[in-house]
Chain A
């Protein structure tokens, strides 16, 4: 009995506070947290808020006498110490902390102050700001983590729990290292593996596999606030997915954390920075940005600076620097001037302040950059030759100009002036002069333009329809389709009498065109959008006709040769009917002109199109020596865009441009940091107010309260900042990293304040352990995988996660690591578990973000532009959760329900909630319903033939264990009930089950119900 009681007694003593006079009061553990919480707000570092001139965070100041002569602290003499008197003063005006602050101290806490002063009021530096000291371990310590945990447990009379069973261990390792469920066969193989290093082999295999990087990325992406949208106001999308893939790759390749850090903050500043290093520098661009009209640049310049400083403080140092953006920090030694000096490190980042996200740098797959550069070089060369002036080319130009002038003087074509114009389904045809007409207003998919000319030339031999580009039309083309295209499906012409009766139907013998579209021509009987199909009486199909993509930007002509010259018939008018029956996407003519000719068609068609754009036509009549160089150039450019002698060059240029476009279209882009020598001027902003320009201009400088290297003769830059963060002297970074890694594998940090290692943060109960881990990282090339391996191979990690009632009393929060933790999976992994178990998951690493199903209309409150969520199709629908499109203003609701943060601010620790929305997601989100259906399909296809066997099979797949008899009974009841119900309700069975004969559908539907149960279980979404 004695052996069982002793530890309890020790525990009780400790729990009551170290009143056993054995131990000295610890300033860092016991006094400073009280001072910081209760006193520093008025008697701390912030000079502007300091009351009565008393400062308690520095010993020298605290010992000084006040004006009254009283001393707050007289070491060794609590009776003379005003602080002690004030803590228990009956006069509310004298009592500290003042009642108005709603703060107060317990009797035990007052006693602590008393004893601490008795013992000499010794101050210690803040633990986190002192360099970690690596504990020396005895040679036979075994696993250092277990030694340090066990040592402390022993001193408290506590001990380790038993090791978890192998199934639990395998599931735990898969969850922690991959964020994926353990395959049943793997679990069984591990359970059966009798080799002494079976566990380590599994760990090493998992660490070497690429899902490890995906799992680790989730935590890091929260920290650096990675998201696919800009954040403010219109929340525009931006290109950053290569950064996410960089993070995944860095964890997988175990890039040393110091290098990883340096590339985040200053990859662009490294000599000969690689593409990957530039991508890493995207970190500096992950902040919230705006393009809201009316936003002031100065305002947002300040916001961006503040955002970046907060980020560095949170991500690497667990410092709550945001407090110092308005004033000196209340608890920590961070001054407002430190804050803005830190901000000055980012003043070189070249960016628009009020701007939509830029497209970013192209991020090439291996080898693609060379192909792209060769194509651009080729394009530039061709472009150059197209613009080069030679004697020969000048002569050719002059010939062309002469021809143009001739044509202008003796027109072969006579524009038809249509006094009456009708357009079916509503468009109005506006007269633009000189026979040019523009369709406006209603924009139907189909129309017919019926145009009536009062006069026409005698002995017409043909007609010409010109499609004339117009700036106001889509893409500046001649058509009204969104790409500037049109389809003329049939052209008819007739002569009519005044009463409207037809005097003569004209018939066309031949149709040719300046250009015939080949794009998307597969379905067209001619395999191209041919001129011929405009006079075939719709023999090729009414929806087919003449179109001109991609040459929509140039004037195009359709020449229609009459079977025989048409003599003028007295008292008749000419009607031209342009049918546009394509019927999709508004493929109708926007701007056009019809002309008639009496010349031989071959000659007429060869005549220069009188389609010279009006400004150029005006230039042409200007004598050549009166034209400016630019005017002349525009004429030459126009000529060369048409002249047959340049056709080959143009063809090659078009090919090169198409290749460039093709590469650009399929190459992802990434925002990166670009540095400019024209740095923004950074001022200290009093109260963080950008309108107050009275603060001093500050230069980049490292915070004064942490050890920093001397940099002489120049202003330090981002590279210096990054190197300082991971320098051996920096007491914070390694500890912060170690603490957060610990949280991943144990559920709670060694210091539970993951985001605050300042004076208000929790000093870890086992500081020696945190320091050992930190020193291992710092002195061991920042080996993150090594740290992870060390943690997960410890006995501490392998304990059971259940707690005995005794443990629940003695170590209620498990701060002494007397067991493992149980916690719900992160949002991303909840999805991954369901998709993996259903065998739907597509295990591709990286790529642009994907869009799982999302309720219709969820983005209705986004605007500028309004957006629709189009769910990804094919394999992209079944990607891991971490690839989900991250829209900051409206994060995917399934992710939000499971506490994924919006990533507007850096998040060191996710909230872990248990709310009804999670049940709704797992029950009803189509992604999970589809997964249940697929899992049911697997049960039927892969499982045994009997119900009980199938239930066992399903349990093995989803929980890697056999069902208990009670579970089987419950599931069997559900299954048989739903089998009967769905057989009786074939429509419901078809809706839920797979399309199949009714009996099969009912069977599938019933099993889908059972599979839904499996995917909804607490055990399924819990890591234990």
Chain B
């Protein structure tokens, strides 16, 4: 089967075989067998040989609050709205605007259902249901003037994650790993975790929210699950223990190595590296998820139990992923879609996230990782100042997001909605601006991270995006 047209010298081939038989690191292979195009998903370089700018953040933990948290019960205090409870919304404000379920109904002001409190030295004001997070107020920058194009969950998630409402675009985590690669040796560069809330408003989310779209698949988010195989098909088949799986992988790679020597196709070298990586994942992922070595104090800090699938548990995993060099970690916590009984709904959610978010920030800070980990908290949109019965409808004209760490100016707030919390009026922040700022902190000029598709150089920020320099430390 030897082909005389092999591209590789006999010496080269022998050298490869001797190493392939005994196995060696994927990263080494990636360097041996070509640049980024042949590089494996993890522990791999990105497209940029160096960052455009000095990186303030090495990684991102994005806490996606799916369903659309009400800014009016969480991070945007509106005393005037309280005073106008039950009165009609000024028509000048709402006329001709996108409205979701309240279409064609009388629009009435609805007072904030939860009180607000000042926290920390900075005196940041947010929900009284978040006292633990309040202890970290001086680390947080609250942006109160975000707006989105989309007003329904699905397109709004697409927009928040990909900067476009059209399916098939790469997600922000894919863009980040495409640009920067990942430092994680044996884990994917972009990891997604999901959790559900107890309130029963668990709106669907879609795999496209962490897809790689038209950029190469190796940059897609890998969904790490609390139940079953943590990564799809991670576990060896029944009756195949670690050693026997290793034998099989070893035989596959030995034969692929012989084939490579025959036909000289670099794809085979990549394939060999990927089998090594897959096999390593079979130990590195269980190691990641094994919390036995976490001291009780940490478990108490987060208030979770191993494998309980809670948002807090995912926050702890996020910290472990961050420690292992994963570039982009995205947590979805669902159940924020409070069309009815928003008081009860937000109360439940606050219980679920207050300790968890505090613990994540505290833990990162204690490990001196907050300084280069950018934490972002936010939903795909906010909720109306108008009532929908005892709840609020979807709202995209102004809502709140907070950030911490990774070069963000701590203890400040930025931007504002009008006095009723309807429209972002002071320093409005487009979703693309959030993306631009996030990339900037990662050391990437959002204008220069592009991928050509269908004749056009696409960016995460599409044709928009301005860096929010006032919130950068």
Q: Which residues in A have some Cβ–Cβ distance to B below 8 Å?
A: 102, 161, 231-235, 288, 290, 292-296, 299, 303, 320, 322-323, 330-331, 691, 753, 755-756, 758-761, 800, 802-805, 808, 822, 824, 855-858, 860-864, 888-891, 893-894, 896-897, 899, 901-902, 904-905, 907, 911, 913-921, 923-926, 929, 961, 964, 966-967, 970-971, 973-974, 977-978, 981-982, 987-993, 1005, 1009, 1012-1013, 1016-1019, 1022, 1024
Contact = CB atoms under 8 A, between A and B. Distances in A.
Nearest to B236: A924
12 contacts: A296-B100, A296-B103, A320-B456, A755-B454, A863-B203, A902-B211, A911-B217, A913-B217, A920-B231, A977-B247, A978-B247, A1019-B259
Interface stretch (B268-276, B397-405, B436-444): B268-276
B299 to A, nearest CB: 24
A890 B207 contact: yes
B214 A233 contact: no
B254 interface: yes
B277 A919 contact: yes
Nearest to A802: B5
B264 interface: yes
Interface of B: 1, 3, 5-7, 38, 40-42, 96-101, 103, 151-155, 165-168, 194, 202-208, 211-212, 214, 216-218, 222, 225, 227-229, 231-241, 243-245, 247-249, 251-252, 254-256, 258-259, 263-265, 267-268, 270-271, 274-275, 277-279, 281, 332, 334, 393-394, 447-448, 454-456
A881 to B, nearest CB: 16
B79 to A, nearest CB: 28
Nearest to B150: A299
Contacts of A913: 216-218
Given A759-B455, A992-B237, A923 B248 contact: yes
A232 B5 CA distance: 51
A619 to B, nearest CB: 38
A982 B241 CA distance: 11
Nearest to B165: A303
A294 B248 contact: no
Contacts of B229: 855
A924 B271 contact: no
B313 to A, nearest CB: 15
Given A232-B154, A1009-B247, A1018 B268 contact: yes
Contacts, number: 258
B248 A914 contact: no
B166 A861 contact: no
Nearest to A1024: B263
Contact of B151 (A288, A294, A802, A897): A294
Contacts of B259: 1017-1019
A889 B167 CA distance: 10
B98 A914 contact: no
Q: Which of A858, A860, A893, A971 is the most central at the interface, judged by chain B CB atoms within 10 Å of its CB? A: A860
B204 A234 contact: yes
Contacts of B234: 920, 924
Contacts of A1016: 248, 252, 275
A735 to B, nearest CB: 16
Nearest to A688: B165
A861 B205 contact: yes
B96 A691 contact: yes
A88 B318 CA distance: 51
A897 B220 CA distance: 10
Contact of B202 (A863, A915, A1005, A1013): A863
A292 B153 CA distance: 8
A674 to B, nearest CB: 26
Nearest to A754: B454
A691 B233 contact: no
Given A290-B154, A861-B332, 12 more contacts: A292-B152, A803-B264, A858-B232, A899-B217, A913-B216, A914-B270, A914-B274, A916-B41, A923-B245, A923-B278, A924-B235, A1018-B256
Q: What is the predominant secondary structure among interface residues of chain A facing chain B?
A: loop
A-B interface, 8 closest residue pairs, ranked by CB to CB distance from nearest: A760-B455, A992-B239, A294-B100, A991-B239, A904-B167, A919-B278, A889-B206, A294-B101
A905 B164 CA distance: 13
Contact of B267 (A753, A822, A992): A822
A841 B47 CA distance: 41
B98 A970 contact: no
A894 B229 CA distance: 14
A761 B22 CA distance: 45
Contacts of B208: 888-889, 902, 904
Contacts of A288: 167
Contacts of A320: 454-456
Contacts of B7: 803-805, 808
A863 B196 CA distance: 12
Contacts of B97: 691
B218 A863 contact: no
B204 A233 contact: yes
Most buried by B among A856, A888, A911: A911
Contacts of B263: 802, 822, 1024
Given A233-B154, A322-B166, A990 B267 contact: no
B415 to A, nearest CB: 23
A662 B270 CA distance: 54
B9 to A, nearest CB: 9
A416 B38 CA distance: 82
Nearest to A233: B154
Given A231-B167, A863-B203, A919-B274, A989 B239 contact: yes
Contacts of A303: 165
A9 B123 CA distance: 74
A916 B247 contact: no
Contacts of B38: 914
Given A802-B3, A804-B7, A988 B241 contact: yes
B271 A758 contact: no
A645 B227 CA distance: 61
B154 A292 contact: yes
Nearest to A804: B5
Q: Which of B40, B240, B334 has the most CB of A within 10 A?
A: B240
A897 B223 CA distance: 12
A893 B232 contact: yes
A825 to B, nearest CB: 12
Given A288-B167, A911-B217, A1018-B268, A893 B455 contact: no
A824 B267 contact: yes
A38 to B, nearest CB: 11
Contacts of A917: 41, 222, 231-233, 278
Contact of A929 (B41, B237, B456): B237
Contact of B153 (A233, A760, A857, A970): A233
Given A294-B393, A800-B5, A804-B5, A921 B233 contact: yes
A1012 B244 CA distance: 12
A974 B455 contact: no
A694 B166 CA distance: 23
A17 B168 CA distance: 36
Contact of A920 (B233, B248, B264, B455): B233
A592 B251 CA distance: 70
Contact of A1017 (B216, B252, B334): B252
A1013 B256 CA distance: 10
Contacts of A896: 207
Contact of B218 (A753, A760, A915): A915
Contacts of A1022: 267
A755 B453 CA distance: 9
A466 to B, nearest CB: 38
Contact of A924 (B99, B217, B233): B233
A901 B213 CA distance: 9
Contacts of A904: 167-168, 208
A973 B247 CA distance: 10
Given A290-B154, A292-B153, A822 B227 contact: no
A73 B65 CA distance: 55
Contacts of B228: 855-857
